[in-house]
Amino acid sequence: MYTFTTIDKFVRVENEAFTLDNNPFFPMILNYSVSVRTINNSIVIGPSREYDHPSEFDAYTKVGVELRLETHFKLIKSMGFNSLRIVGLNDPTYSDDRIGSLQLETHDSLTLIQTTYENKRESYLKALGELIKIAKKEDLKVMLILPRPQKDFVKNTSRINYIKDILMTFSKEPTVFAYDFFNEPLYFDNAEYTEYDLVIRDKLDAYNLVKFWKELMTTYAPNQLFTIGFAEPLEVMEWDPTILPLDFVSFHTYHPLRVASEIYWFSKYVNKPWIISETSLPADNDSISYKSQEIFMKEILQKTKDCGGVGFGWWQYQEVDWRVFEHDFTALVNLEGKTYASNGEFIIGSVKPAGRVIPNFQFQPIGNCNCPDNYYNILGYEKYKITGKVINEKTGEGIEGAVIRSWNQDWSIGLNTFTDENGVFNLYSNQKCVHFNISAPGMSFVSTSKTPQEFHYLKNNDADFTAAIDTTLEYHSIHFQTFLKDKDPEKSTLEFDEKYFSKFRFYTEMEDVLLREVEINPH
């Protein structure tokens, strides 16, 4: 078994922020993808085969792989990051079959070997330990992502045994500062099922799961921290971050039209320390310039500080070739040219300007956490508006910060809004919405559907009916530049013109929605 030298310098949460050795610590996290490989019948965990040369490995010996890790980590440290979020250990290396399989990449990366974690346990833990040892040498903290929960008892038991091994092995290593027990529940919880009753999760069920995870941490890794990588405010429907007994909240937010609003919601309604563990703006220096990505990095970092965030993470280290623009160009290192690290080794690729922001960033709040102009109509929908109110069933008062998710009749377009300080919401759309999911921090969940005929729309006589409307609009297919006050995205990626977000041609009202408080038993 791999062993570490124990030193008492763990990252802790104190007074709603992180500390390290009794000093403030602000995790600057870069997501780093790994490949779990077999070399000479031993497991080696190294850089993703997408890095440096896409779809090719850059080293074929254990020593060579570890040198590539060292080289990458040195570059990451020089870019100003102090932490890594290791991606790739949760899936597919620990897959969903009944025996806890490991899917190992081979020499040519085209042939996959299926084995079991139990058969490779010692080799696997040693390989992970080597990666952590290299991170430690470069003074980088590590967050490990763990496999998601399973309904199937045998699968979940195997998963828990794996997690216990990880916690026990690294519990005395301060380099590992946190464990992410579930990456994006919104998208991956019960993903193996299609039936609604099997996919949906009750808030109390989620609470009890996280309570159990906390017990695991208390028993096996009491000096380390744990979190969940929430996808967006919609998580409040099932995995409500305000009631879950986490050490801190981490969330992922993408697209300039969304990030400021989602930061605002998490900062205002989540009662725990929070960080962004994933964000980015894809930039190929063509459709989106490197300068725009740099501006986005600066603005989101500043927004995080202004809104009280205690950490920040970027997706990801280097560009990949997945043939999807949103994924391929988010990274801070491209695939062009060569960059030399301090050990004399080079990387295939160059650091983009956004990758040079951190060393010169002041890490001080300079403004207020103001509500963004597009908070209630994030994508600038302009045809229909439904007004409603979310009410506390017990007190009769409006509920602030409730999240409304709605879809058109065939479920092809989904969109969100929030309630204001009085519990009132205005849901803007370009198609008539008839399906609704509604919840709020610490409150119950309501799902309801209506027929289009149940809404009696009135005409807004002040509206401009001449402009064309995109009825297929959703956030993957919209460009933020249209809404900027200054159309030059190299000046700002977040300063939008408020005139775009209060338009509507037809309006109606919806009956009040009643929510009750969720009762949890912390014991």
Pairing of strands 17-20, 112-116: unpaired
At residue 96, does pLDDT exceed 70?
no
Residue 20: Cβ-neighbour burial (10 angstroms; 0-12, 13-18, 19+): middle
pLDDT tens digits, residue range 288-335? Answer: 999 999 999 999 999 999 999 999 999 999 999 988 888 899 999 999
Q: Can you give the pTM of this predicted structure?
A: 0.94
Whether the CB-CB separation of 24 and 49 falls below 8 Å is answered with no
Name the percent of the chain lying above pLDDT 90.
Answer: 76
> Looking at residues 220-245, what average pLDDT do you find?
98
How far is the CA of 191 from the CAs of 159, 464, 489, in angstroms? 16, 43, 37
CA distance 47 to 42: 16
Give residue 99's pLDDT: 39
Whether residue 316 is preceded by a cis peptide bond, meaning omega within 30 degrees of 0, is yes
> Looking at residues 485-509, what average pLDDT do you find?
92
At residue 94, does pLDDT exceed 50?
no
At residue 223, does pLDDT exceed 90?
yes
> Looking at residues 5-12, what average pLDDT do you find?
74
Whether the CB-CB separation of 247 and 225 falls below 8 Å is answered with yes
Give residue 417's pLDDT: 98
Task: Give which of 199, 165, 200, 189 is closest to 179, Cα–Cα.
Answer: 165
Tokens (6 digits) for 509: 């009202």
Whether the CB-CB separation of 429 and 501 falls below 8 Å is answered with no
At residue 370, does pLDDT exceed 50?
yes
How far is the CA of 269 from the CAs of 15, 36, 406, in angstroms? 18, 39, 21
Give residue 102's pLDDT: 65
> Looking at residues 50-56, what average pLDDT do you find?
86
- Paired residues of 225 in beta bridges: 178
Q: Give SS3 for 223.
A: coil
At residue 17, does pLDDT exceed 90?
yes
- Identify the structural domains of the chain with CATH numbers, from first to last: 11-360 (3.20.20.80), 384-515 (2.60.40.1120)
At residue 81, does pLDDT exceed 80?
yes
Model confidence band, residue 477 (pLDDT cutoffs 50, 70, 90)? confident
Whether the CB-CB separation of 262 and 279 falls below 8 Å is answered with no
CA atoms within 13 A of residue 133's CA, in its CB half-sphere: 14
Whether residue 149 is preceded by a cis peptide bond, meaning omega within 30 degrees of 0, is no
Give residue 92's pLDDT: 40
Judged by average pLDDT, the poorest of 179-193, 371-385, 500-514 is: 179-193
> Looking at residues 108-123, what average pLDDT do you find?
76
pLDDT tens digits, residue range 326-339? Answer: 889 999 999 999 99
- DSSP character string of 232-265: SGGGGGTS-TTTS--S-EEEE--SHHHHHHHHHH
At residue 351, does pLDDT exceed 50?
yes
Mean pLDDT, the chain, whole residue set: 92
- Kindly provide the b/e burial profile for residues 435-467, where b requires at least 16 CB atoms within 10 angstroms of the residue's own CB: bbbbbbbbbbbbeeeeeeeebebeebeeeeeee
Tokens (6 digits) for 120: 């490779």
Judged by average pLDDT, the poorest of 186-190, 246-250, 492-496 is: 186-190
At residue 4, does pLDDT exceed 70?
no
Task: Give which of 434, 508, 505, 425 is closest to 469, Cα–Cα.
Answer: 505
